[in-house]
Amino acid sequence: MVDESALERELFEVGRQMAAALPTTRNPLKVLDDKAMDLASSDAELKAALFRFVDVVPACRNLDDLARHLTAFLEEVGEPPPSVGVAMRMGNTKAGRRALGMAAAAGVRHMAHRFIVGERPDAALGVLRDLWKDGVASTVDLLGEATVTQAEAQRYADRCADALDTIAGAAAAWPPREQLERDSAGPLARANLSVKVSALTPLLRADAPERGKRDAADRLRPLLRRAAERGAHLHIDMESMDSRDAVLELVLSLLAEDEFREAPSAGLVLQAYLRDSPATLDTILAWGAERAQPLTIRLVKGAYWDHELVQAAQHGWSAPVFERKADTDANFERLTRRLLDARPAVRVAIASHNLRSVAHAIAYNRLTGGADADLELQVLRGLGDPLQAAIAAQGLRVRTYCPVGDLVAGMAYLVRRLLENTSNESFLYEQARGVALDELLAAPR
Tell me, by CB under 8 A, how many residues bind other proteins.
35
Nearest approach in angstroms of CB 151 to other proteins is 6
Rule CB under 8 A: is residue 279 a binding residue for other proteins?
Answer: no
Rule CB under 8 A: is residue 406 a binding residue for other proteins?
Answer: no
Rule CB under 8 A: is residue 245 a binding residue for other proteins?
Answer: yes
The nearer residue to other proteins, 60 or 377, going by C-beta atoms, is: 60
The nearer residue to other proteins, 58 or 231, going by C-beta atoms, is: 58
Nearest approach in angstroms of CB 273 to other proteins is 17
Rule CB under 8 A: is residue 64 a binding residue for other proteins?
Answer: no
The residue within the footprint of other proteins, chosen from 158, 178, 210, 262 (CB under 8 A), is 210
Q: What is the largest CA-CA distance in the chain?
A: 69
| DSSP 8-state class, residue 272 | T
The residue within the footprint of other proteins, chosen from 1, 95, 148, 436 (CB under 8 A), is 148
**Rounded Cα distance, 107 and 352, in Å:** 27
The residue within the footprint of other proteins, chosen from 69, 159, 301, 325 (CB under 8 A), is 69
Nearest approach in angstroms of CB 220 to other proteins is 18
245, 209 Cβ separation under 8 angstroms: yes
The residue within the footprint of other proteins, chosen from 6, 20, 86, 151 (CB under 8 A), is 151
Rule CB under 8 A: is residue 202 a binding residue for other proteins?
Answer: yes
Nearest to 234 by CA among 296, 172, 321, 166: 296
Rule CB under 8 A: is residue 208 a binding residue for other proteins?
Answer: yes
DSSP 70-106: HHHHHHT-SS--HHHHHHHHHTTSHHHHHHHHHHHHH
**Rounded Cα distance, 294 and 233, in Å:** 12
Go through the chain and tell me how many residues it has: 445
Show the DSSP H helices in 174-324 as ranges: 178-181, 209-230, 241-255, 277-286, 305-315
**Rounded Cα distance, 128 and 161, in Å:** 18
**Strands 265-271, 182-183: pairing kind:** unpaired
**Strands 186-187, 137-142: pairing kind:** unpaired
The residue within the footprint of other proteins, chosen from 258, 315, 434, 445 (CB under 8 A), is 315
Q: What character string, x for contact with other proteins (CB under 8 A) and - otherwise, covers 6-45? A: ----------------------------------------
| DSSP 8-state class, residue 238 | P
Contact positions vs other proteins (CB under 8 A): 52, 55-56, 59-61, 65, 68-69, 72-73, 75-76, 145-146, 148-152, 202-203, 205-208, 210-211, 241-242, 245, 315-317, 412
